[in-house]
Amino acid sequence: MSLKLFKSTLIVSAMTLLSRILGFIRDVVFAREFAASAGMDAFLIAFKIPNFMRRLFAEGAFNQAFVPTLGEYKEKKDKQAVKDLIQHVSGTLGGWLFIITLIGVIAAPIVIMIFAPGYLEQENQSKYELTVNLLRITFPYILFISLVAFAGGILNTYQQFAIPAFTPVLLNVVLISATYWIVPMMDEPVMGLAIGVFLAGLLQLLFQLPFIARMGFLSWPRWNTQHPGVKKILKLMLPAIFGASVAQINLLLDTIIASLLVTGSISWLYYSDRLMEFPLGILGVALATVILPSLSKQHMSDSKEEFSATLDKAIRWVIYLGVPSAVGLFMLAAPIITTLFGSDKFLKSDIEMSAMSLMAYSFGLVGFILVKVLLPGFYSRQDTKTPVKIGVIALIINMVFNIAIVVPWFLLDYPGAHAGLAIATSISAFSNAFLLYRWLRKHEVYWPAKGWGKVWLQVIVANSVMLMVLWLTKYELEQWLNWPTSERIMQLLVSIILAIAVYFACLFILGVRKRNLFPTN
């Protein structure tokens, strides 16, 4: 990983950090205004469906097929050929998305029947009708945000990482604003959030268009499925639709099962998943976004050693920073949720239930991040079939463990059955990462550089010391609840800063230096 590539990763991470911070503020607002209510459950389902499709079609399969193809056009063809590709891809993608959006709006009742079958029960009829109405407003988000991902792919290919990374900030700003300006005007408050989702998607698209125009690539879209570049992208994209988004499919399956559990289960999973998304976005998504164009270029130039070295450095970075993130989330689950979401509406029981699923998700955090980092090793080589096969296995594992863990948990009437869904998802994530890693090793696409034994020793010892310090300095949940918000924030910051200081001090004592974490070549 070159210094330029590392700096690009830092830029994306910084923008992602800003987005995640605003995302936390958004979720704090949601928790304080709506808590883990039936209305919030309904909105989360209505938002999760188009958001899931966005990650499936846009940031997932489409982006992984489009960026390597665009990179190939950029390296081997002139600017007019690149512009022609963009024009036809935008027209074809936009056309299909419009059709999908129209079908989704019309068929909203059927979609909710599929994704939230628990709402079909007689006592949940009002929740079903509310969710259908919400989905009809939020579904066009898939059209807007997929085109945003398309524009972001262009910008990333031309090494302009900051704009696509900053764009999600607008979603959080709009939703926070909608909570205070639109929600009070609605008879059904959560309808205001759905309108906010629609407006946020449109705003994000409009925000990126001037930058595409400045590059000279903004032109009227043209539908043409026979264009060679479009055909190649579709060929790469179709199998990747499943493989690139196994984690999202797992989370959606969790939502389906959660709809059958007690009211609040969907909200508890959402709040804990959002907290897990923080390190996942900063480490996994940011790093994967940056290394994909570089890996594509190295593959086209047949630089196998550089290709492997880029992956190796990325994986080391994940281990050095991902493992302590997981440990920290596990140990500080209840304090984090109490500090961010605790209120008169978000009760102690909500905190305990959300903390349970966050602790379960933390076990799989490194697996989630590794999947994000390893997938570019396939897509940069235009191999979309292998991740599909591996993804199917991971999905089956998730389904098996969902049944094996959640069903007995639910039938025995133990509280927190939703946490079983998070455990199953974590197991699936590690299974996915392991199978991806094994394939890359077996086919000699990636081979570890020297020094991995020392890396693992350093990471294990440093994390053990950090874990012990967090354990010795922890407070009981009752104490956190008795503190005012200012005291909670201060104590949480002290715990986080202490954990970071102890961890990196241990790494330093064990011989880790700046060059090990921050490449200078």
Asked if 143 and 98 count as a contact pair (C-beta separation under 8 A), the reply is: yes
How confident is the model at residue 331, as a pLDDT? 94
> What is the per-residue pLDDT for 372?
87
Is 256 exposed, middle or buried, given 0-12, 13-18 or 19+ CB atoms closer than 10 A?
middle
Q: Which of 10, 89, 36, 512 is nearest to 287 (CA)?
A: 10
The domain limits of the chain are 1-244, 245-449
Using pLDDT thresholds of 50, 70 and 90, give the confidence band for residue 61.
Answer: low
12-41 pLDDT, tens per residue?
667 777 877 888 889 888 888 887 788 888
Work out whether the CA dihedral 364, 370, 373, 374 comes out positive or negative. negative
Q: Say yes or no to pLDDT of 2 above 70.
A: no
DSSP 8-state symbol, 448: P
Give the pLDDT mean for 278-285: 76
**159-173, 431-445, 455-469: range with lowest mean pLDDT:** 159-173
Share of residues in the chain with pLDDT > 90 (%) = 35
- DSSP labels for 273-310? HHHHHHHIIIIIIHHHHHHHHHHHHHHHTT-HHHHHHH
Q: How confident is the model at residue 520 (pLDDT cuts 50, 70, 90)?
A: very low
pLDDT digits (tens, 9 = 90+) for 291-308: 777 787 787 777 888 888
- d(Cα 195, Cα 244) in Å, to the nearest integer? 29
| Residue 334 pLDDT > 60 | yes
For residues 500 and 415, give the distance between their C-alpha atoms in angstroms, rounded to a whole number: 33
Give which of 359, 387, 375 is closest to 477, Cα–Cα.
Answer: 359
What pLDDT does residue 1 have?
Answer: 46
For every residue of 78-122, DSSP letters joined together read -HHHHHHHHHHHHHHHHHHHHHHHHHHHHTHHHHHHHH-GGGGSG
pLDDT confidence of residue 94: 84
Residue 508: pLDDT band (50, 70, 90) is very high
pTM score, whole prediction: 0.73
Q: What single string gives the DSSP state of each residue in 98-109?
A: HHHHHHHHHTHH
Distance of CA 78 to the CA centre of its chain: 34
CB-CB neighbours of 158 under 10 Å = 16
CA distance 502 to 469: 8
pLDDT per residue as tens digits for the range 84-102: 888 888 888 888 889 989 9
Residue 176 has pLDDT above 90, yes or no: yes
